[in-house]
Amino acid sequence: MSRTNRKILLTAIAAMFATLIAFFLVDLDVVNDPAPPRDLAAMAAWMQKHPADWLTAAEISDAALDGSLPRRVELWRTSYALALHLAPRLQNAPAAFVRDGLFHWYELEANDRKAVLDVAAPLLHDKEIFDDLHTPLWDLTHDFDFLLRNAPSTIDAIDQLRAMSASRGLFAEYRKTREALAQQRLATFRQERATMPPHELPSLLPQRLSTDDEPLVRAILEELHRQSFAPEQFREEPTAAMIEFALDHNLQPLEALVPFIEAQAIPPQTRARLALALGRADAAMLIELAAARPVAPEWVRYRVERALYEAKHGNAGAAELQLRRALASSSDPLVFAAAAQSADLLQNDAAAAQYRRQLMAGAKAPRQWNPNCGGNDVCDWARTLVYSPGSIDIDMAVVQSDRIPPYVEIYADDARVAEGEVVDARRFTLPLAPGVHRIEVRLVNPRIGSGVQRRVRLS
């Protein structure tokens, strides 16, 4: 565009604005239109003269049931229908109709209640509206399937329903939403994998992993294997938990995690385990030597895995050193089981028998659950290591009384093996293969009705 043309264009724009200003100054009524009234009866009269005022029609729908007009229910319906006809793509009219209907729910006939739910269903697909409405809708209707069916397809929305069902004692619905939540996490990954940065992928995982999450962890590993990424951009959690889970269950492709061996954001014991699992024993040793507290309890898993690695390679002294360091940190059954297996690999039958006797003796000792909220009380989740000769018993007792009983899930090596309500007291008998198992108890409704933290005693 030439300089002359630009001048002509700018002059025309200036002239147009000058004309508009003059128009408003000459005809002040344009900017001083009367405002709609706020009184319900006056608003109804206003609509006779301004039948296209969809905002006022929506406001009537929002207030009609609050008034004392003789035909207020009919006014509520017709004002909504008019507002919807005038502005069908906006949410003002449906939101006003639903809001007023919910406030006066118990005054409505069955057909009007159904109309409110029919209008509310598409509104619930909006995250903010769902956050505001799902609890009052449940309190009024007790129709959980309606909420689950119309919830937004997001992890957060399904998780809210999962928490709500657990806290209200709807345990069948809780199990349904638990399954739906795992499916939604995987669906979200598939929808967003092309645009989500690699360092955000672990955020799709739940805080505590189980074998229900194996498909998603495998999918994330495959995606990381296809991409290049900077490991220092990943947060320690949930990335470290994902790596530990992949190691515990030998999920592939494990090579996708190679960059994390040198990632300082990941705990050194996790990086050492990862390096060892990937056949990089020298790198694992360097991480171990550089660790500030190499005999701390969090290093036990690496110690026993390193001992077995050395035993398989015939390095009896190195295996013994790792086992002594593990025993200096912990005397849990995992160490004695690894010591017995190491002795078998080194063909030391006497040592293997001795370690197995110690393992069996330790199995009779009282269990220690961690973390706990006093004694062996669980308030959220707790773990322990057990040796199983074929099955184990877990006894639970309720500490506080409440209208809704506690509901627990029991996991063995991250697989859910039992679950149910605990009314006063209950014993769970778990058939487990002979050997050492990681047991975790999760309390899915950690608050009683008054909001106080719930406690269940384990033994």
Partners of 143 in the β-ladder: none
User: Strand, helix or coil at 418?
Assistant: strand
State the Cα angle at 260 between 256 and 263, rounded to 5°: 160
Residue 26: pLDDT band by 50, 70, 90 thresholds? low
Whole-angstrom distance between the N-terminal and C-terminal Cα of the chain? 84
Higher-pLDDT residue of 79 and 24 is: 79
**Per-residue pLDDT tens over the stretch 91-100:** 999 999 999 9
Per residue in 252-311, pLDDT tens? 999 999 999 999 999 999 999 999 999 999 999 999 999 877 678 999 999 999 999 999
pLDDT, tens digit (0-9, with 9 covering 90-100), for 45-86: 887 788 888 788 888 888 889 888 788 999 899 999 989 999
How many other C-beta atoms can be found within 10 angstroms of the C-beta atom of residue 188?
Answer: 16
Residue 237 has pLDDT above 90, yes or no: yes
Tokens of 358: 């110690």
Q: How far apart are CA 177 and CA 238, in angstroms?
A: 22
What mean pLDDT do residues 112-124 have?
A: 97
Do 246 and 213 touch, CB atoms closer than 8 A?
no
Give me the pLDDT at residue 372, please: 87
Is 9 a residue whose pLDDT tops 70?
no
What is the band of 1 on the pLDDT scale with cuts at 50, 70, 90?
low
From 200, 244, 240, select the one nearest 223 (Cα to Cα). Answer: 200
Q: Region 235-245: what's the mean pLDDT?
A: 97
Residue 455 gets the label, from left (phi > 0), alpha (psi -120 to 50) or beta, of beta
Q: Could you tell me which of 178, 185, 153 has the C-alpha nearest to residue 164?
A: 178
For 173-189, what is each residue's pLDDT tens digit? 999 999 999 999 999 99
Average pLDDT value for the chain:
92
- Per-residue pLDDT band for 130 (boundaries 50, 70, 90) equals very high
pLDDT, tens digit (0-9, with 9 covering 90-100), for 333-390: 999 999 999 999 999 999 999 999 999 988 888 999 999 898 899 999 999 999 999 9
Which whole-number Å values give the CA distances from 256 to 24, 227, 239, 274, in the listed order?
67, 9, 13, 11
